[in-house]
Amino acid sequence: MPAHEQPASYRSHKRRRIWAGYLFILPSILGIIIFTLAPLIYSFYLSFTNWTVLAPKKWIGFANYEKIFTNDYFFYKSLKVTAYYSLGSVVAIVVICFIIAMLLNSAKRAKAFFRAAFYLPTVIPVLAGSICWIWMFNVDFGIINYALSFVGIDKQYWVGAPDSVIPSLILIAVWGAGNVIVIFMAGMQDVPRHLLEAVEIDGGGWWRKLRSVTIPLVSPVIFYNVILAFINSLTAFTQTYVLGRNGGGPNDSALFYSFLIYREAFKYQNMGYACALAMVLFVIVGFFTYLLFKLSSRWVHYEGGGK
Partner 1 sequence: MMNYRVRGQLVNLFFLSLLAFFFIFPIYWILRSSLLDFGEIMDYPPILFPEAFRWENYAEVLNRVDFLLYIGNTFIIIVPVLIGVGLTSSLAAFGFARIEFPLKNMWFSLVIMTILLPSIVTLVPTYIGWAKLGLTDTFLPLILPAFFGGGAFNIFLLRQFLLTIPRDLDESAVMDGAGFFTIYSRIILPLIRPALVAVLLFTFVGVWNDFLNQLVYLNDQDMYTVALGLSTLRSSLTSPMHLIMAGTMIMVIPATIIFLFGQRYFTEGIATTGIKG
- Of residues 5-34, those binding partner 1 (CB under 8 A): 17-18, 20-25, 27-32, 34
Q: Does 261 bind partner 1 (CB under 8 A)?
A: yes
CA 107 to CA 241: how far, in whole Å?
Answer: 39
H/E segment holding residue 281:
helix 271-299
- Concatenate the DSSP letters of all residues of 96-142 into one string: HHHHHHHHHHT--SSHHHHHHHHHHHHHS-HHHHHHHHHHHT-TTT-
Pick the stretch among 139-147, 162-170, 197-205, 207-215 that binds partner 1 (CB under 8 A). Answer: 139-147
Could you tell me the sign of the dihedral formed by the alpha carbons of 16, 21, 23, 24, in that order? positive
Minimum separation from the CB atom of position 136 to partner 1 (A): 6
CA 219 to CA 295: how far, in whole Å?
Answer: 13
Residue 180: CB atoms within 10 A of its CB come to 28
Q: Does 87 bind partner 1 (CB under 8 A)?
A: no
Q: Which of residues 215-244 bind partner 1 (CB under 8 A)?
A: 220-221, 224-225, 227, 231, 234-235, 237-238, 241-242
Residue-wise over 91-102: b if at least 16 C-beta within 10 A, else e? ebbbeebbebbb
Minimum separation from the CB atom of position 31 to partner 1 (A): 3
**Choice from 87, 117, 153, 295 touching partner 1 (CB under 8 A):** 117
Q: How many residues bind partner 1 (CB under 8 A)?
A: 93
Question: Angle at Cα 53 formed by Cα 49 and Cα 55, nearest 5°?
Answer: 75
3-state secondary structure of 45: helix
Minimum separation from the CB atom of position 278 to partner 1 (A): 5
Q: What is the DSSP letter of 154?
A: P
**Choice from 131, 148, 161, 191 touching partner 1 (CB under 8 A):** 131
**Choice from 126, 161, 195, 215 touching partner 1 (CB under 8 A):** 126
Q: Does 74 bind partner 1 (CB under 8 A)?
A: no
Q: Does 42 bind partner 1 (CB under 8 A)?
A: yes
**Choice from 11, 12, 40, 91 touching partner 1 (CB under 8 A):** 40
Q: Which of residues 43-62 bind partner 1 (CB under 8 A)?
A: 43, 46
**Choice from 217, 243, 254, 274 touching partner 1 (CB under 8 A):** 274
Question: Angle at Cα 218 formed by Cα 215 and Cα 221, nearest 5°?
Answer: 130
CA 237, distance to chain mean position in Å, is 12
Q: Does 115 bind partner 1 (CB under 8 A)?
A: yes
Per-residue binding letters, 275-294, with partner 1 (x by CB under 8 A): x--xx-xx--x---x-----
Q: Which of residues 145-184 bind partner 1 (CB under 8 A)?
A: 146, 175, 178-179, 182-184
Q: Does 271 bind partner 1 (CB under 8 A)?
A: yes
Could you tell me the sign of the dihedral formed by the alpha carbons of 300, 304, 306, 307, in that order? negative
